[in-house]
Chains A and B, each alone.
Chain A
């Protein structure tokens, strides 16, 4: 198998009044960085977004096809598909990719959206065979997905608000990039930060870099202080 760029960590978190969907910015091909500032989160329409992990090329194409189909439906019918309808359509696209997935070209997206009927954010995960599973609170996938999920599992609380969800997303992505070599960290030097989109009743908004950076800064400063203290203990504690 030739080395093909892969996307790494994506996650989604439900909060009070909406849902958030995020992804790091790195694509890797084997042990190489294939792209430092790739987009893995795409707005499908006003009230839904998709995040992609797996083989980057076909995954981006799948996101583009999904967006085209949803927009086509909305324009022809003068009304958007239901969120359930969108989720089922994505399952169908993933199922179509199964032969390629069996040859190693695996695509595993996450879908998040605001459901105007239920007046809440909803999120869906998928398996390679097109299985669609609705998660109630959060999920993450991709190579660093397991690490991000550990953070989400311990930190998630029922009824958290938008700001807490953004903070939690940043912490989970930091942990994923810390543990998984393929997941991109927060690139303070080049100014490349994860993409975080927030979907609520009023539509979709990008969380600005100005909001993300201080949150990441605070976590990293905490770590720095903590590790300095640990080293200080080590140097005094052992002869």
Chain B
């Protein structure tokens, strides 16, 4: 009888961790920042059709980095769960905290499975606050399913630590939308300034979307390439 192949659980976890980190580090970052009338998402994305940032529900947006084929089904499943809950109960019962917990559990379950590859993704689930009732929320979910509650800004993707450090020094509260976008773009540019082969971060490579407090029910809005270019020039 062949003897079973034995690897210590500790080593398995360590290898999974390495695998997921490596995969995520290949991808470019998504930055989510609070501005004076909502939350803005700035992502480096060479594709104009495969999105990193998208609308989940009236006040909730989703951002993913890493393996697109792994996070996009999670986005779709999230929209479906949100619609079912909002239809069955009420639209106001669909919250980012609930969604973030669902994602955290789903991703964590894959992580804990012995014989599967971990998901090489990280997510941000953000919710714009309701005046006089709730504040903005930024939840970050890692490849292992761990759930982190961020304030003011949240970053996922390759150089997330550098960008977070950069934003810690430069972020101010109550930024205008334009200022918030420029701040995030500067952060993206700064962390790769020493890297010669890095493509220039311009409007063509940026995907920007907002949870815009001035909109009616559905707060999510994408900026067009023209709007982005105008903001960067301003």
Contact = CB atoms under 8 A, between A and B. Distances in A.
B86 A76 contact: no
A111 to B, nearest CB: 20
Counting chain A CB atoms within 10 Å of each CB, the highest count among B49, B51, B87 belongs to: B87
Given A72-B79, A76-B76, A65 B87 contact: yes
A76 B87 contact: no
Counting chain B CB atoms within 10 Å of each CB, the highest count among A64, A68, A75 belongs to: A75
A75 B87 contact: no
Nearest to B50: A78
A78 B79 contact: no
A64 B54 contact: no
A72 B86 contact: no
A71 interface: yes
B86 A75 contact: no
Contacts of B56: 75
Interface residues of B, number: 12
A76 B51 contact: no
B87 A64 contact: yes
B98 to A, nearest CB: 17
A78 B87 contact: no
Contact of A78 (B54, B83, B218): B54
Contacts, number: 20
A68 B76 contact: no
A179 B22 CA distance: 74
A65 B54 CA distance: 22
A75 B79 contact: yes
Given A75-B56, A78-B54, A68 B86 contact: yes
Contacts of B49: 78
Interface string A54-74: 000000000011001001100
Interface in A97-147: none
Size range of the chain A interface in the assembly:
under 10
A43 to B, nearest CB: 9
A30 B80 CA distance: 39
Nearest to A72: B83
B212 interface: no
A75 B56 CA distance: 7
Interface string A32-65: 0000000000000000000000000000000011
Interface string B61-89: 00000000000000010011001001100
A1 to B, nearest CB: 28
Contacts of B86: 68
B83 to A, nearest CB: 5
B55 interface: yes
Contact of B51 (A65, A71, A78): A78
Interface of B: 49, 51, 54-56, 76, 79-80, 83, 86-87, 218
Interface of A: 64-65, 68, 71-72, 75-76, 78
5 contacts: A65-B87, A68-B87, A72-B83, A75-B56, A78-B54
Q: When A and B form their complex, which 9 residue pairs have the shortest distance between CB atoms, in order from nearest?
A: A72-B83, A75-B79, A68-B87, A75-B55, A76-B76, A68-B83, A76-B79, A72-B79, A78-B51
